[in-house]
Structure 1
């Protein structure tokens, strides 16, 4: 499947998607905000698949910063592959990378995510098993 979309590099998570009209501008190009929503979906899928959860009393990730690069336009009804991986992690944060592919790279993004205890608003530590998964499956680097 990766070859079909022109995917380069190793990615821990991927899913196919067909661009909907609601994700486009008047010229049938993927709207910049739609990329971010699709990447957010990947972040949530990654977090849940790594054993995290979402509740008012459980720790969860929030985006501290986000950088996006638009390489080529995507269009209405394009079949694309969305990918996500963890590039690095610290005690209470991690860096995710995202990409959208269709015959090569269309859009890439990098998000610094901070884990917050939703009950208190304080930073929370990444569970050891999640850190291990980031390193082993995603190839993420532990930063100091």
Structure 2
């Protein structure tokens, strides 16, 4: 992320992946506020984009992330047609799980919403936990600044 984009949205910290978005009417309630569920859907989109970009896939035979827990903090309301920046990064990882952090930043205003998800990697063929491969662990550490937990 370059300095101009960071300043435009008031972004703080290191983020592994980001994408600009304009809030659509379908993501709002009748008062033109971003609906609480829309934040989670947008963060889910970022989780999928992160996983696929890191070499993962989604199929019946490949391991994939399942959300084990999710914590959301709404800082200030978002509105219809707001220009926002969606961000995701891996904060930490273990053998079969990782913690993602998400942010939605409004142009000229800073952080609107943040979230933290504990994701467990599951082998879709067996339903059992699967290990995160070394290449993905390395990406988590180098690009996102993630910390390996024991």
Q: Does TM-score exceed 0.5, indicating one fold? A: yes
- Which of 118, 127, 131 is matched with 1:121 structurally? 127
Residue-pair matches, total: 144
Indicate the residue corresponding to 1:109 in structure 2. 115
TM normalised by structure 1 equals 0.99
TM normalised by structure 2 equals 0.95
Indicate the residue corresponding to 1:54 in structure 2. 58
For the pair 1:72 / 2:65, whether they are aligned, the reply is: no
Task: Structure 2: give runs of 5+ residues left out of the alignment.
Answer: none
The CA RMSD measured in Å over matched residues stands at 0.4
Task: Give the Cα–Cα distance (whole angstroms) in 1 for the partners of residues 17 and 31 of structure 2.
Answer: 30
2:128 is paired with a residue of what secondary structure? coil
Per-residue CA deviation, residues 45-96 of structure 1 (Å, 9 max, x unaligned), is: 0000100001000000000000000000000000100000000000000000
For the pair 1:131 / 2:125, whether they are aligned, the reply is: no
Indicate the residue corresponding to 2:19 in structure 1. 15
1:22 is paired with a residue of what secondary structure? helix
Alignment of 1:71-90 (within 5 A): 71-90=75-94
Task: Structure 1: give runs of 5+ residues left out of the alignment.
Answer: none
